[in-house]
Amino acid sequence: MNTEKLDYLLQRIEGYIENHEVLKLDISKASVGWHLDHSLKVVNAVVKTLQESDPTTYKNNFSFVGKVFFALGFFPRGKAKAPKHVKPPEVVLKEDIILQLEIAKTNIKTISSLDNNAYFKHPLFRHINKKRVVRFLVLHTNHHVKIINEITS
Protein backbone atom coordinates (compact mmCIF):
# COMPACT_ATOMS: atom_id res chain seq x y z
CA MET A 1 0.00 0.00 0.00
CA ASN A 2 1.86 3.04 -1.29
CA THR A 3 0.65 6.29 0.27
CA GLU A 4 3.58 8.49 -0.87
CA LYS A 5 1.47 10.53 -3.32
CA LEU A 6 -1.17 11.07 -0.66
CA ASP A 7 1.50 12.11 1.86
CA TYR A 8 2.83 14.57 -0.72
CA LEU A 9 -0.65 16.01 -1.33
CA LEU A 10 -1.15 16.47 2.42
CA GLN A 11 2.13 18.42 2.47
CA ARG A 12 0.77 20.59 -0.35
CA ILE A 13 -2.41 21.14 1.67
CA GLU A 14 -0.31 22.17 4.66
CA GLY A 15 1.46 24.75 2.49
CA TYR A 16 -1.83 26.34 1.48
CA ILE A 17 -3.25 26.77 5.01
CA GLU A 18 -2.00 30.37 5.31
CA ASN A 19 -4.10 31.22 2.23
CA HIS A 20 -7.29 29.68 3.59
CA GLU A 21 -9.28 32.91 3.20
CA VAL A 22 -8.33 33.49 -0.45
CA LEU A 23 -11.23 33.47 -2.89
CA LYS A 24 -11.17 33.87 -6.68
CA LEU A 25 -14.71 33.58 -8.00
CA ASP A 26 -13.67 33.16 -11.64
CA ILE A 27 -11.94 29.90 -10.61
CA SER A 28 -14.25 28.58 -7.86
CA LYS A 29 -17.24 29.71 -5.82
CA ALA A 30 -15.43 28.28 -2.79
CA SER A 31 -12.43 29.64 -0.92
CA VAL A 32 -9.08 27.91 -0.50
CA GLY A 33 -10.19 27.05 3.05
CA TRP A 34 -13.34 25.35 1.75
CA HIS A 35 -11.29 23.13 -0.59
CA LEU A 36 -8.76 22.33 2.16
CA ASP A 37 -11.46 21.53 4.71
CA HIS A 38 -13.46 19.43 2.24
CA SER A 39 -10.42 17.44 1.08
CA LEU A 40 -9.43 16.63 4.65
CA LYS A 41 -12.99 15.77 5.66
CA VAL A 42 -13.11 13.28 2.76
CA VAL A 43 -9.79 11.64 3.73
CA ASN A 44 -10.87 11.33 7.36
CA ALA A 45 -14.44 10.19 6.64
CA VAL A 46 -13.28 7.59 4.10
CA VAL A 47 -10.67 6.10 6.43
CA LYS A 48 -13.12 6.06 9.35
CA THR A 49 -15.71 4.30 7.17
CA LEU A 50 -13.12 1.75 6.01
CA GLN A 51 -12.18 1.07 9.64
CA GLU A 52 -15.82 0.58 10.63
CA SER A 53 -16.88 -1.41 7.55
CA ASP A 54 -17.74 -5.10 7.60
CA PRO A 55 -15.45 -6.69 4.99
CA THR A 56 -17.84 -9.64 4.64
CA THR A 57 -20.45 -7.32 3.10
CA TYR A 58 -18.08 -5.91 0.45
CA LYS A 59 -19.33 -6.31 -3.13
CA ASN A 60 -17.00 -5.94 -6.09
CA ASN A 61 -19.41 -3.54 -7.81
CA PHE A 62 -17.03 -0.69 -8.68
CA SER A 63 -18.84 1.24 -11.40
CA PHE A 64 -17.86 1.70 -15.03
CA VAL A 65 -17.74 5.48 -14.42
CA GLY A 66 -15.32 4.89 -11.54
CA LYS A 67 -13.11 2.75 -13.77
CA VAL A 68 -13.08 5.47 -16.43
CA PHE A 69 -12.13 8.25 -13.99
CA PHE A 70 -9.50 6.08 -12.31
CA ALA A 71 -8.02 5.25 -15.74
CA LEU A 72 -8.05 8.90 -16.82
CA GLY A 73 -6.48 9.90 -13.51
CA PHE A 74 -8.67 12.90 -12.76
CA PHE A 75 -12.17 14.03 -11.85
CA PRO A 76 -13.89 16.66 -14.03
CA ARG A 77 -14.71 19.98 -12.39
CA GLY A 78 -18.15 21.10 -11.35
CA LYS A 79 -19.85 17.77 -11.98
CA ALA A 80 -20.34 16.50 -8.43
CA LYS A 81 -21.81 17.88 -5.23
CA ALA A 82 -20.14 17.21 -1.89
CA PRO A 83 -22.32 15.06 0.41
CA LYS A 84 -23.46 16.87 3.57
CA HIS A 85 -21.12 15.01 5.93
CA VAL A 86 -18.02 16.25 4.04
CA LYS A 87 -19.21 19.79 3.37
CA PRO A 88 -17.25 22.50 5.19
CA PRO A 89 -19.02 24.93 7.53
CA GLU A 90 -19.91 28.48 6.44
CA VAL A 91 -16.74 29.80 8.08
CA VAL A 92 -13.67 27.61 7.77
CA LEU A 93 -11.24 28.18 10.62
CA LYS A 94 -7.49 27.78 10.18
CA GLU A 95 -7.34 25.82 13.47
CA ASP A 96 -9.91 23.31 12.19
CA ILE A 97 -7.89 22.73 9.01
CA ILE A 98 -4.70 22.16 11.03
CA LEU A 99 -6.46 19.70 13.36
CA GLN A 100 -8.03 17.77 10.46
CA LEU A 101 -4.66 17.64 8.70
CA GLU A 102 -3.02 16.02 11.71
CA ILE A 103 -5.84 13.47 11.95
CA ALA A 104 -5.54 12.75 8.20
CA LYS A 105 -1.78 12.12 8.49
CA THR A 106 -2.45 9.58 11.24
CA ASN A 107 -5.44 8.04 9.46
CA ILE A 108 -3.68 7.26 6.18
CA LYS A 109 -1.03 5.32 8.10
CA THR A 110 -3.77 2.91 9.25
CA ILE A 111 -5.00 1.95 5.76
CA SER A 112 -2.35 -0.71 5.16
CA SER A 113 -3.38 -2.60 8.30
CA LEU A 114 -7.03 -2.89 7.25
CA ASP A 115 -8.68 -5.95 5.75
CA ASN A 116 -8.39 -6.08 1.95
CA ASN A 117 -12.19 -5.90 1.71
CA ALA A 118 -12.61 -2.97 4.06
CA TYR A 119 -14.62 -0.51 1.98
CA PHE A 120 -16.75 2.58 1.74
CA LYS A 121 -19.75 3.30 -0.47
CA HIS A 122 -19.25 6.11 -2.96
CA PRO A 123 -22.46 7.62 -4.39
CA LEU A 124 -21.23 7.30 -7.99
CA PHE A 125 -18.46 4.67 -7.90
CA ARG A 126 -20.20 2.28 -5.46
CA HIS A 127 -17.98 0.10 -3.25
CA ILE A 128 -14.34 1.20 -3.05
CA ASN A 129 -12.17 -1.26 -1.15
CA LYS A 130 -8.68 -1.00 0.32
CA LYS A 131 -7.06 -1.83 -3.02
CA ARG A 132 -8.64 1.22 -4.69
CA VAL A 133 -8.98 3.63 -1.78
CA VAL A 134 -5.56 5.28 -1.93
CA ARG A 135 -6.02 5.92 -5.66
CA PHE A 136 -9.43 7.45 -4.95
CA LEU A 137 -8.03 9.68 -2.19
CA VAL A 138 -5.11 10.77 -4.38
CA LEU A 139 -7.40 11.62 -7.31
CA HIS A 140 -9.89 13.46 -5.11
CA THR A 141 -7.29 15.38 -3.12
CA ASN A 142 -5.31 16.26 -6.25
CA HIS A 143 -8.52 17.52 -7.88
CA HIS A 144 -8.91 20.07 -5.07
CA VAL A 145 -5.18 20.90 -4.84
CA LYS A 146 -5.22 21.83 -8.55
CA ILE A 147 -8.18 24.17 -7.92
CA ILE A 148 -6.43 25.69 -4.88
CA ASN A 149 -3.29 26.19 -6.96
CA GLU A 150 -5.29 28.12 -9.56
CA ILE A 151 -7.01 30.22 -6.90
CA THR A 152 -3.67 31.18 -5.31
CA SER A 153 -1.79 31.78 -8.60
pLDDT at 81: 81
Once rounded to an integer, what is the mean pLDDT over residues 113-134? 96
pLDDT at 76: 82
What is the residue extent of each domain of the chain?
A: 4-152
**pLDDT tens digits, 59-90:** 999 999 999 999 999 888 877 788 888 999 98
* Residue 140 exposed, middle or buried by CB count within 10 Å (0-12, 13-18, 19+): buried
Tell me the percentage of the chain whose pLDDT exceeds 70: 99
pLDDT at 1 over 70: no
> In whole angstroms, what is the distance from residue 121 CA to residue 72 CA?
21
**pLDDT tens digits, 30-62:** 999 999 999 999 999 999 999 999 999 999 999
- Selected from 1.20.1250, 1.20.120, 1.20.58, 3.40.630, the CATH number assigned to the domain covering 4-152 reads 1.20.120
| pLDDT range class, residue 2, cuts 50, 70, 90 | confident
Q: pTM (2 decimals)?
A: 0.95
